[in-house]
Chains A and B, each alone.
Chain A
Amino acid sequence: MSVDRYLDRLFDRLAGTGAAGRRALTEAEDHLRSATEQGTAQGLSRVDAEQRAVAAFGPPDAVAAQLRAVHRPDAWLRPAFTGAWLAGGLGLVAIGVSGLAAEVFGRIYGPEFVAGDGPGVTYTAARCAEYLHLFPDAGGCAGAAATDHWGEVVQYRVLAGVLGLILLGTYGLARRRTELGEEAWRPPRGTVAVPLGVLFAVAGAGFTGISLMQLAYGDRAMLGANLSAGIVALAAAALCFLGNARKRRHPAGTAA
């Protein structure tokens, strides 16, 4: 088969692949012309050199099928899936850390600092009785309610963190033992760290800003809960950006 005929067949089989197919066809032509030139330089006739070049290149069906597989429209889904998995795990772990921070705040500054109610919030006598039954040493209905809410803040956030650790653990395991470890599944560098860092930064600025406003206006409702979330989110954002910058300088490990 001549080079031109081979390129015609390859062109037919790459129909519908757009720019990727056009690029592949240009590369194939350059390759086959170069191989033909080499063949003629070695003393082959042009016909023989073209036939040898075409034979060495492989059947157009197989080449086109492989190119189609690489450029199929859903190729981005795999790294997007693993990226979402990784980002979800890291986000949940950050929430868990904010739960631990809320625990520390509560122990240092008291449950009211973390989960105290705003001015004017009251409870029914029955509800107060429930809170005081749970926390008889809280020093009153408001204190008992704050202690209960503090426990909920810490508990739910830490549970989210545990779920995040499970997600990250299974991700690591899946990367070692399944095809998720292959390059095709790996999110390109920065595609997890940067968006996640931006998300953390926005959340951190929001929660910290709310906390500062509360301090300015003397509103202590859920102040510690907001502050712990803000501080941890800002720290997580810094870690994301620093980690990404470090990987750019010293590429090693995962690409995300």
Chain B
Amino acid sequence: MNAGDIPDRLWEASRQALTRSQRARAERESRGAEPRPGDVLLFAATAEPGVLWVVVEADPEADRYRLVAADGHLLVGSADVAVAAGAACGALSVRCAVEVELAARDLAAGRPAGVLDLEVLDRVRGKRAAIAAGESVGSWLERETDAEVEYRDWMADVGQAAALLARAPAGRILEFRPPVRRGVLGSPWAIAATVLLAVSLGLAGGVAWERGRQRPPSPEAVLNLPFVDLYPMALRGAARLEVPSTAPLVHLILALDDPRPYPEYRLELRERREGTLTWSSRDLERIGTRVSVALPRALFGTGEYELRLYGLRDAESVELGEYALEIAIDDSQSP
């Protein structure tokens, strides 16, 4: 064999892969428009990082569909399911702990992109159930992968993709219980779970416990918290968020364009038309490449807001970005 030749073996493997791929596409197209568990979907918003979505639960009556992320990255952690190359959809890594809920109208924006084999779907469901039950999941090698920088970086990207997808009108990222292990250098799940409901849970439960020195109350989840990913205005322009008037909090996640870390950050929120300062705090800390804050819904009315983020070091204050946010208060759910 000469080094410049293309091996016949590879040519044949490519032919076979194409046949499988064509068969998979035909099968997917024959399933009809109704989303079903096992369907793999591709959304324009998350195509660029190469993240697909697998429908894992479908409840047409309630109009709720649950999807987990899937991608072509080779690294597989403890909360993932590796799909082999010989499967109908080809090699994929299904990220069972990155889950988004959408309504049917949101799903309509997705393109059909294959079907998971039933056996693989069962494995995905089994792993989701184990994660939810707090069981130890994955092999020892997969648990070691959880701690690798490369893997954590990629899971942060998948978490961002989930946040983008959950911007759909009825979208939300679901809470999950990740397999956090003590001693691991950070947890990819802490990054991937961009909703950071813990912020609001901490506010709700921790203060009462400190005051009364009582047993800590069982935390209650804050469901359906409206949230938005904000990027510097120069990069993405203004973001828009519909906020139910009944929501207790609005969660803002601000992406940092500046890689330099600062000991603390100050955020100012102003109502754009009047320029009045609505809220400000200098106690923010960076989490990965983001800072995040859950603000009382009552601070907001329908209108345009601007946020300015500053990095603080000693006496120095450096403006890191201006963010624009348009809020629409939805009164339709008011009693």
- Are A and B physically bound partners? no
